[in-house]
Amino acid sequence: MQRTLVLLKPDAVHRRLVGAILQRFEQKGLRLVGLKLVQASRALAEKHYAVHRGKPFFEDLLRFLTSGPTLAVCLEGREAVAVVRSLMGQTDGAKSPPGTIRGDFGLSVQNNLVHGSDSPENAAQEIEIWFKPDELLNYQIAGSEWVG
């Protein structure tokens, strides 16, 4: 089983889309392993977006992620990284197909509702940034033999 990090960004929280977005991941068969509401500090945002340091949009990313509450989510499942990225859709909601989270709920490039790790390696690093080991649970879901 693979784990991935998902962030429901401040726009998702403020627009009251948390339940609708989480539902999509759960309905697909992904399992919640960690979940917490966080007011990201600048230091946390800088650590998360370190790969973008020096780029013209870096400060805008930090400003946005620290502008309100973010729901940090660790999901687990078969090919979790690829599954989450497929469910999210393209970064630009206006170009993302209907049926995806961004296609159904987003129009902006920056305020794009959700972040998902782009590789298993980055997922492991990002999960460590947002969660302590004891904040992640390991349990069996009833009926999981039907999901895979």
Which structural domain, as residue segments, surrounds residue 112? 2-39+71-138
pLDDT interval class at 109 (50, 70, 90): confident
Q: Is residue 52 part of a domain?
A: no
Alpha-carbon distance of 130 to 5, in angstroms, equals 9
Q: Is residue 22 part of a domain?
A: yes
**115 has catalytic annotation:** yes
The answer on pLDDT for 148 being more than 70 is no
- Residue pair 123/81 in contact (Cβ under 8 Å)? The answer is yes
Q: Within 10 A of 147 (CB to CB), how many other CB atoms are there?
A: 12
Structure token pair of residue 136? 């992640």
CATH number at residue 110: 3.30.70.141
Q: Is residue 127 part of a domain?
A: yes
pTM of structure: 0.92
Structure token pair of residue 70? 């973010």
**Mean pLDDT value across residues 96-118:** 93
CA-CA-CA-CA dihedral for 4, 20, 33, 80, to nearest 10: -30
Q: Is residue 32 part of a domain?
A: yes
- Residue pair 32/75 in contact (Cβ under 8 Å)? The answer is yes
> How distant, in Å, are the alpha carbons of 66, 73, 87, 88, 113 from that of 91?
19, 19, 12, 8, 9
3-state secondary structure of 141: coil
pLDDT in tens, 28-73: 999 999 999 999 999 999 999 998 999 999 999 999 999 999 999 9
Q: Considering its fold, how many domains does the chain have in total?
A: 1
pLDDT interval class at 112 (50, 70, 90): very high
Q: Is residue 11 part of a domain?
A: yes
Residue 46, classified by CB atoms within 10 Å of its CB into exposed (0-12), middle (13-18) or buried (19+), is middle
Q: In the block, which residue shows the tokens 């492991």?
A: 124
Catalytic residue (one of 14, 48, 52, 115): 115
